[in-house]
C-alpha cells in the first residue's frame, strides 16, 4: 500500500500534481474547512479512486500546535509495510510544518518515508486559470 500525506491550501494544483505522480492507494490530507471543499474535485480531476482521510485544522495560519492531534488522527490508518510519501508543498506555512513534523515522527517510529516537493513553473495566473496541469515532482 502507498499512502500520500499532503497539505491542501486554496490552490488545488499541487495536490493534483501529487496525486497524479504518486498514484497512492490512500490520501491523508491536512487542510482547512474551506480547503476541504475543493478536495473531491481535485481527486476527481486526478482520476484518484483510492481511500482518503481529512484532518481539518482549526486555523490554517496558526495551527502549528496541532502536531499531536494530527498524529492521533493518522496513527490508526498506518500500515507498517506501507510506502509513505510526504508532500511538503502546498497550503500555508503552518500546514507544511504539520506535514514535516508528521514525517519526522513517522521516521522516528521506523516507517520508511519518501519526501517530495511539487513545482509548477507556470505564471500565477496560468496556475489559477488551469490548475489541473501536472507540475514537476522532485524526490528529496
Evaluate if pTM is beyond 0.85: yes
**pLDDT tens digit string along 25-71?**
999 999 999 999 999 999 999 999 999 999 999 999 999 999 999 99
Which pLDDT does position 80 carry in this prediction? 85
The cell numbers describing 69, all together, are 492531534
Question: What are the percentages of helix, strand and coil residues in the chain, rounded to 5?
Answer: 40, 25, 35
Domains present along the chain, CATH in parentheses: 2-139 (3.40.50.10770)
Displacement of CA 113 from its chain's centroid (Å): 13
Q: At what angle do helices 67-75 and 93-108 cross, to 10 degrees?
A: 50
Amino acid at each position: 500500500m502507498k499512502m500520500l500525506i499532503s497539505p491542501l491550501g486554496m490552490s488545488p494544483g499541487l495536490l493534483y500534481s501529487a496525486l497524479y505522480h504518486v498514484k497512492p492507494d490512500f490520501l491523508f490530507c491536512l487542510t482547512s474547512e474551506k480547503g476541504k471543499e475543493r478536495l473531491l474535485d481535485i481527486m476527481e480531476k486526478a482520476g484518484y479512486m483510492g481511500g482518503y482521510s481529512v484532518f481539518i485544522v482549526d486555523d490554517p495560519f496558526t495551527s502549528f500546535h496541532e502536531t499531536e492531534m494530527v498524529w492521533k488522527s493518522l496513527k490508526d490508518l498506518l500500515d507498517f509495510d506501507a510506502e509513505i510519501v510526504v508532500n511538503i508543498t502546498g497550503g500555508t506555512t503552518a500546514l507544511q510544518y504539520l506535514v514535516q513534523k508528521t514525517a519526522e515522527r513517522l521516521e522516528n517510529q521506523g516507517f520508511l518515508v519518501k519526501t517530495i516537493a511539487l513545482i509548477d513553473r507556470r505564471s500565477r495566473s496560468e496556475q489559477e486559470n488551469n490548475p489541473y496541469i501536472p507540475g514537476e515532482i522532485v524526490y528529496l
